[in-house]
Amino acid sequence: MIVLEKGHQDLLDNPTEMDLLGVGIVSITEKNSKIIYNKGISRSLMKDLITLYHPDILEKKEGNLIDLLGIFTVSIHFYSLDTESIAIFYVSEKDTLINYDIMTSVSRRLAQMYYSNAPLSSINDMCNMIIPRFEGLSALFIISTTGHTLFAKIRDDKALISENYIQIGGFLSAIIMFSNEVIGKNSGDTLQAINFENQQFIISVKDDIIFACLLDISLKSDNFERYMDLIAEEFLDQFSASVKDFNGDLNQFHRFKLVIDKYFCL
What's the Cα-to-Cα distance from 4 to each of 84, 89, 219, rounded to whole Å? 20, 19, 38
Nearest to 212 by CA among 124, 138, 131, 111: 138
| Mean pLDDT (whole number) for 169-174 | 89
Contact 258, 121 (CB under 8 A): yes
Domains and CATH numbers, the chain: 6-130 (3.30.450.200), 137-263 (3.30.450.70)
Nearest to 264 by CA among 221, 227, 216: 227
Nearest to 127 by CA among 113, 137, 117, 139: 113
3-state secondary structure of 134: strand
Nearest to 220 by CA among 197, 196, 201, 233: 201
| Mean pLDDT (whole number) for 7-17 | 56
Please check the confidence at residue 9 and state whether its pLDDT lies above 70. Answer: no
State the pLDDT at residue 190: 63
| Confidence tier at 4 by pLDDT (50, 70, 90) | very low
- The string of pLDDT tens digits covering residues 186-228 is 545 566 888 887 888 898 988 889 999 998 877 666 788 899 9
Q: Quick one: what percent of the chain has pLDDT higher than 70?
A: 90
* Averaged confidence pLDDT in the chain: 87
What's the whole-model pTM score? 0.84
State the pLDDT at residue 152: 95
Angstrom distance (rounded) from CA 204 to CA 226: 12
Which regions of 40-101 does DSSP assign to beta strands (E)?
A: 63-69, 72-81, 84-93
Please check the confidence at residue 234 and state whether its pLDDT lies above 90. Answer: yes
| Confidence tier at 136 by pLDDT (50, 70, 90) | confident
